[in-house]
């Protein structure tokens, strides 16, 4: 019997031991991985930067430039080296770190010039490009040369390249100048087919954020408003680049028909077309370009490349902290209730940071950097009231507007002593809306119905039933009251009557230059101007900036960088199974559809600009 039992139980014991071995092996591998990562991070954080030799600063930006990255530069560098996420075109680079490096390099004796290698640069909003361009111009004006080299340039890449003393293009390359466009998906017909009832509550002729639910195309009012600000953004782009290239705006972009004719005249050779239009200075092979860079900066035998240090490896010294402290607080992304999440402005988090700055005796002034399309009215009001309390406490408040400060982004800006916007900032969009979807008809079409009792029509709210008329009336009254409060706040802040504000409100989006004309901002400028104004109002002769940025923990960094590495490859793997047009449509739908789920106002009231961030 025992022999029989051994025969039967033997395979099971063997399988159990094998499973235990596999489990322990996997856990040990994971432990070794964590140890290696932690040791690597420690060495990266504590290593001393090697003394660079003379050569160029290689601006080889990868991904996008944003004002407030989810992970700071040092941790991104570790992620690039340990986890190989450097190819991710969604990698975020801090605008202010990039500008600081360019300004440091300007006065660094080891940096003798600058090379723009932007093939992996995915872009930034126009206000950020202008700020980087300002730093590039300062570098060039210091007497150090700037070269741009690339196989091709998209519009964002070419904007920065235009600040170079000399632009190189390879023989099969192109400069893609085509203009700007904004497109949204409209799904009224889809909602009708699905029998979804969308209840819209809004104030503002130009408040187009809800139009995708109401129409299958853009309304004439929205088309007129968007055409104006989009045309102005493009004109700002053309004027700047043309001035950099020392040609006229018409020479830079003569129009679609003239460009077709010009391309035909050179037999479709895009590189020669760019050369003939003076978009670039030299068409040459990579080998020839490298020879030119070697002539300018010398050859590094160890790296087998011309002498240069990547912007990701360039070390900037910590600035001495002297004088009064100016707090820099970011409102970057959609405004939501609760704590901050990556890519959004948490009402609780941002209001808490402003409160900390208000109560800190070392903080003498506050600069609120706003780059937001708006969002929750409740969260916007929480931030606004805290900013007003800081001003009332005697601390000057200056708002610096980035690429956009629209709707709720403008709401939170109203208490400032002074508002500075870029000429290409998208702002205004003063209006409020609410959206509630119900599915009673969708469910009814498949035989599912909802019924019950309630003590009041206002209690009988369900997404599976029609909205009670009394609730709809109260919701519209609430939205109208919110709009009245909005224009009253703006009027009080800008010394205008509510009637005067209403004429420039109604959800209308303005670029910074128009906003200055309409009295919505005080000055056209950039972040440097905002800091200088804050120091002036606080009467500070010497000052330093205290950046209110949350530093992630070691575990947060490891998990964030690991997920970034996975994310860099996963979408490509998924989209590989889709036809290219289907993958592009899927990405577009995802981008637009994801805007609304982030919004969580308890009263379903939103001050949000849908089209402000979707310019290509």
- The string of pLDDT tens digits covering residues 410-428 is 999 999 999 999 999 999 9
Residue 44 in this model has a pLDDT that exceeds 90 = no
Q: Please give the torsion angle defined by the CA atoms of residues 570, 572, 576 and 582, in that order, rounded to the nearest 10 degrees.
A: 110
Q: E strand or H helix at 380, and its extent?
A: helix 377-392
Question: Which residues participate in catalysis according to the annotation?
Answer: 207, 407
d(CA 155, CA 176): 6
CA dist., res. 171 & res. 286, Å (int): 9
Distance in angstroms between the alpha carbons of the first and the last residue of the chain:
79
Nearest Cα to 521, choosing from 380, 370, 387, 375? 370
What pLDDT is recorded for position 563?
45
- Tokens 């909802």: give the residue: 450
pTM of the model: 0.84
Q: How confident is the model at residue 82 (pLDDT cuts 50, 70, 90)?
A: very low
Could you give the percent of the chain with pLDDT greater than 90? 53
Q: Distance (Å, rounded) from C-alpha 364 to C-alpha 545?
A: 10
pLDDT value at 515 more than 80:
yes
Tokens of 115: 């090379």
Q: How confident is the model at residue 605 (pLDDT cuts 50, 70, 90)?
A: low
CA distance 17 to 375: 56
* Average pLDDT for the chain: 84
Confidence of residue 551 (pLDDT cuts 50, 70, 90): low
pLDDT class of 49 with cuts at 50, 70, 90: very low
Q: Which of 193-207, 251-265, 359-373, 464-478 shows the lowest per-residue confidence on average (mean pLDDT)?
A: 193-207
Torsion of CA 100, 105, 107, 109, to 10 degrees: 150
Highest mean pLDDT among 433-442, 460-469, 497-506, 527-536: 527-536
Question: What pLDDT, on the 0 to 100 scale, is given for residue 155?
Answer: 95
The contacts of residue 72 (CB under 8 Å, 6+ apart) are 94, 549, 551, 552
Q: In this model, does residue 586 exceed pLDDT 50?
A: no
* Chain position carrying tokens 């504590």: 46
Looking only at the bridges linking them, the beta strands covering 523-524 and 92-94 are unpaired
Query: Among 191-195, 284-288, 387-391, which stretch is predicted with the lowest mean pLDDT?
Result: 191-195
- Chain centroid to Cα 389, Å, comes to 28
Output the CA–CA distances (angstroms, integers) from residue 333 to 266, 344, 371, 593, in the order listed.
45, 4, 6, 16
> Which of 441 and 131 is assigned the larger pLDDT?
131
What is the pLDDT averaged over residues 167-195?
91
Q: What is the pLDDT of residues 95-104, one digit of tens each?
A: 999 999 999 9
- Contacts of residue 33, defined as CB under 8 A and 6 or more positions apart, other chains included, come to none
Tell me the two tokens of residue 153: 């340039």
Measured CA to CA, the distance from residue 224 to residue 227 in angstroms comes to: 5
Instruction: Based on DSSP, count helices (H) and strands (E) in the chain, helices before strands.
Output: 22, 25
Query: What is the pLDDT, as a whole number, of residue 110?
Result: 93
Q: For helices 554-575 and 580-593, give the axis angle rounded to 10 degrees.
A: 140
Whether 162 shows a pLDDT value over 50: the answer reads: yes
């Amino acid at each position: 019997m025992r022999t029989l039992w051994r025969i039967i139980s033997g395979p099971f014991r063997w399988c159990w031991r094998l499973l235990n071995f596999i489990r322990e092996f996997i856990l040990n591998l994971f432990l070794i991985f964590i140890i290696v990562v932690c040791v690597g991070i420690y060495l990266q954080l504590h290593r001393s930067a090697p003394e660079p030799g003379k050569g160029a600063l290689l601006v080889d930006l990868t991904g996008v430039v944003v004002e407030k990255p989810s992970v700071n530069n040092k941790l991104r560098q570790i992620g690039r080296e340990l986890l190989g996420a450097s190819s991710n075109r969604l990698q975020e680079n801090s605008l202010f770190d990039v500008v600081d490096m360019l300004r440091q390099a300007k006065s660094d004796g080891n940096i003798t010039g600058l090379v723009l290698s932007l093939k992996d640069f995915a872009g930034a909003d126009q206000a950020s490009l202008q700020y980087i361009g300002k730093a590039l111009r300062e570098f060039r004006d210091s007497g150090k040369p700037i070269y741009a080299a690339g196989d091709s340039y998209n519009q964002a890449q070419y904007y920065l390249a235009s600040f170079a003393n000399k632009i190189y293009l390879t023989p099969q390359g192109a400069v893609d100048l085509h203009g700007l466009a904004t497109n949204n998906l409209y799904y009224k017909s889809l909602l009708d087919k699905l029998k979804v009832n969308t209840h819209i509550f809004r104030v503002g002729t130009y408040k187009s954020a809800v139009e995708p639910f109401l129409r299958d195309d853009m309304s004439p009012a929205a088309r007129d408003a968007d055409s104006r600000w989009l045309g102005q953004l493009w004109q700002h782009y053309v004027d700047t680049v043309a001035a950099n290239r020392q040609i006229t705006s018409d020479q830079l972009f003569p129009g679609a028909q003239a460009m077709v004719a010009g391309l035909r005249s050179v037999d479709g050779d895009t590189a020669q077309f760019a050369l003939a239009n003076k978009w670039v200075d030299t068409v040459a092979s990579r080998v020839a370009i490298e020879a030119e860079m070697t002539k300018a900066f010398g050859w590094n035998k160890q790296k087998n490349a011309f002498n240069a240090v990547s912007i990701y490896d360039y070390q900037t010294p910590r600035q001495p902290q002297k004088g009064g402290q100016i707090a820099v607080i970011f409102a970057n992304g959609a405004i939501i209730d609760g704590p901050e999440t990556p890519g959004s402005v948490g009402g609780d988090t941002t209001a808490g940071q402003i409160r900390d700055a208000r109560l800190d005796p070392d903080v003498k002034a506050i600069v609120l950097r706003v780059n937001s399309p708006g969002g929750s009215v409740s969260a916007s009001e929480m931030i606004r009231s805290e900013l007003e309390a800081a001003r009332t406490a005697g601390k000057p408040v200056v708002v610096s507007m980035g690429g956009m400060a629209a709707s709720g982004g403008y709401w939170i800006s109203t208490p400032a002593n002074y508002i500075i916007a870029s000429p290409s900032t998208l702002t205004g969009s003063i209006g409020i809306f609410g959206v509630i979807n119900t599915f009673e008809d969708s469910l009814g079409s498949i035989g599912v119905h909802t019924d019950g009792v309630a003590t009041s029509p206002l209690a009988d709210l369900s997404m599976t039933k029609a909205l009670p008329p009394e609730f709809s009336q109260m919701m519209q009254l609430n939205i109208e009251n919110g709009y009245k409060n909005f224009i009253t706040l703006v009027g009080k802040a800008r010394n205008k009557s509510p009637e005067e504000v209403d004429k420039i409100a109604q959800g209308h989006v303005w670029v910074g230059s128009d906003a200055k004309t309409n009295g919505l901002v005080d000055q056209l400028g950039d972040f440097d101007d905002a800091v200088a104004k804050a120091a002036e109002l606080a009467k500070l002769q010497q000052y330093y900036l205290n950046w209110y940025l949350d530093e992630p923990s070691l575990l947060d960094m490891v998990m964030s960088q690991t997920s970034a590495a996975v994310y860099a490859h996963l979408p490509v793997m998924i989209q590989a199974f889709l036809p290219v047009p289907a993958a592009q449509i899927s990405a577009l739908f995802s981008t637009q559809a994801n805007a609304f789920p982030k919004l969580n106002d308890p009263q379903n009231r939103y001050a949000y600009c849908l089209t402000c961030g979707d310019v290509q």
